[in-house]
Amino acid sequence: MVKTVKKSKKTRSVIPHGQAHIMASFNNTIVSITDEKGNVLTWASGGSAGFKWARESTPYAAQVIAEWAIQKAITLHSLESVDVYVKWIGVGREQAIRWLISGWIEISSIFDITPIPHNGCRKKKVRKL
């Protein structure tokens, strides 16, 4: 005998302004949409969009990923505008930003938050023979 379990409806909050975080590495592109506090609302990556191996990091994959993440955020949370934060230097970064600018959602600002070393690690000692 199969028991039926009632699932409670998820509460969907209305968030007019959020943040879009684009992480474009050499191997993959990940877009996550958050509220202003940093809580993730929706996300998409190359693998979740159906791309495998080297195709995860292509510009076309970045465009599809950005489209999926924004459409989910608009339908589930009524998102209207975003601040865009871009990290790393992969090939999908420009295409994801271009797709966001195309008009689906209002962009307030774009920030590049790629980490840059300030002097870096200490050099190795010179080998003495």
pLDDT of 2 above 60: no
Q: How high is the pLDDT of residue 44?
A: 94
Q: What is the DSSP letter of 55?
A: G
Answer whether 38's CB lies under 8 Å from 47's CB: no
Partners of 83 in the beta sheet?
19, 109
What is the rounded average pLDDT for all residues in the chain?
Answer: 87
Give the β-pairing of 81-87 and 17-24. Answer: parallel
Q: How far apart are CA 57 and CA 22, in angstroms?
A: 12
User: Domain map of the chain by residue range?
Assistant: 17-112
pLDDT of residue 7: 55
What's the distance, CA 105 to chain centroid?
15
Q: Are 105 and 99 in contact (CB under 8 A)?
A: no
Q: What single-letter DSSP state applies at residue 119? A: S
* 4 pLDDT higher than 80: no
Tell me what the mean pLDDT of segment 105-116 comes to: 92
DSSP 117: -
Task: Provide the pLDDT for residue 1.
Answer: 45
Torsions phi, psi for 66 (to 5 deg): -60, -40
29-34 sheet: strands from edge to edge: 40-45, 29-34, 17-24, 81-87, 106-112
Q: For residue 87, what are its two tokens?
A: 């990290």
Q: Looking at residue 48, what is its pLDDT?
A: 86
Average pLDDT value for residue range 113-124: 89
Which pLDDT tens digit goes with each residue over 42-100?
Answer: 999 988 888 898 888 899 999 999 999 999 999 988 889 999 999 998 888 899 999 88
Q: Residue 12: pLDDT above 80?
A: no
**17-112, CATH topology level:** Nucleotidyltransferase; domain 5 (3.30.420)
